[in-house]
Amino acid sequence: MKTSAKALAIASALLVSGAVHAQSFDAGYPQGYVGADAMAWTLDFDGVDESFDSVGLRLVAGMKLDEYLAVEFHGATGGSDDIYGLDIELDYLVGGFLKGIVPLGNNARLFGLLGYSEVKLTASGFGLNESGRDDDVSFGAGAEVDVTDTLAISADFTRYLSQADYDLDAYSIGLRYRF
């Protein structure tokens, strides 16, 4: 709990300081956005041939500070997979990111994500029912294409956890609404 509170405090400070700084940029910024994604996640353990794979829901909220920089928050839940009688369920995932943006004309952009995430998983089976949380530096990359002036389709790959003996990755596709 201490780690997630620290990560939230850092992300909030970045958001507030970035928003104040962004006031000096173009009159169209800061620009808020929200979104919802289908998130296909994979939990890979070193030395295990199979991975735990499932699909959950990810909600995204962010603030574009200028044409090249945004602050973004992810919250996700859902999905479970069973291998050899052991079930792994994604209870939640939260993360805060700086988002670097490369415009591709007026209606498309590539982006990179760098931030920090916390993930809680539950393992059950063989008389076991244990939950555990882990946190780590997270990174990803993706693309967005505008459908209208306020709506875009977004897709990305994000590595939320990279631990010594396992990785948690996600591929997401969804919609973003800018306001």
At residue 6, the pLDDT reads: 55
As a whole number, the mean pLDDT across the chain is 89
Is residue 127 scored above 50 in pLDDT?
A: yes
Instruction: Report the 3 state secondary structure along the chain.
Output: CHHHHHHHHHHHHHHHHHHHHHCCCCCCCCEEEEEEEEEEEEEEECCCCCCEEEEEEEEEEEEECCCCEEEEEEEEECCEEEECCEEEEEEEEEEEEEEEEEECCCCEEEEEEEEEEEEEEEEEECCEEEEEEEEEEEEEEEEEEECCCCEEEEEEEEEEEECCCEEEEEEEEEEEEEC
Tokens of 128: 């076991």
At residue 47, the pLDDT reads: 86
Is residue 12 scored above 90 in pLDDT?
A: no
Q: What is the mean pLDDT of residues 128-143?
A: 96
pLDDT digits (tens, 9 = 90+) for 17-45: 454 444 444 458 899 999 999 999 999 99
- Consecutive H or E run containing 8: helix 2-22
At residue 20, the pLDDT reads: 46
Is residue 142 scored above 80 in pLDDT?
A: yes
Q: Which residue has the higher pLDDT, 127 or 23?
A: 127
At residue 49, the pLDDT reads: 87
Tokens of 131: 């939950």
pLDDT digits (tens, 9 = 90+) for 79-107: 999 998 999 999 999 999 999 999 999 99
**Domains by residue range for the chain, with CATH:** 2-178 (2.40.160.20)
